[in-house]
Amino acid sequence: MGRKNANKKPKQGGQPAPRKVVRQREDPTSSNHETPVWLFGNFDNDSQWGLSSISPDVASEVLSKLKNYESMTWGAIERDKKRNHSVGVEQFCTAARKRFLELNLDVDELFRFRFDGVSRLWGIRDRHQFKAVWWDPNHEVAPSKKKHT
């Protein structure tokens, strides 16, 4: 019995059939499954959209809303595209485009959080980090184009 098995060699596995594809639910390099981290080191206090334009009551309300966002993933935050999304620099008003160039930021868009009808917080989304740049209380940085005008 031992002699028959001595001549046996294990079979080598072949390549998987070409129709089989490895599937992933999510891009492993994506940070959409992570919760946001707020950074204010890049905040532009020397512009009209600096912190001097925010009252203590409004600041408290903004921080409260940011705290609520901490329980959400970036994927969930971005699903509400009407409120939260990236905007290209080409859509900024002239003053914002000029200031953006002066800041020499190494991006071509900013992410914005809409807090109410007009207030926006603008910043750089870098994976799971949000680097705040401007507080826009009057929706001036990238005003909406009104339909039928």
- What value does the mean pLDDT take over residues 52-80? 92
Q: How far apart are CA 45 and CA 103, in angstroms?
A: 11
3-state secondary structure of 88: strand
The band of 60, judged by pLDDT with boundaries at 50, 70 and 90, is very high
Q: pTM of this prediction? A: 0.78
Sheet strand arrangement including 84-88:
37-39, 129-136, 120-126, 109-114, 84-88
**pLDDT the model gives residue 13:** 66
- What value does the mean pLDDT take over residues 59-76? 95
**pLDDT the model gives residue 144:** 83
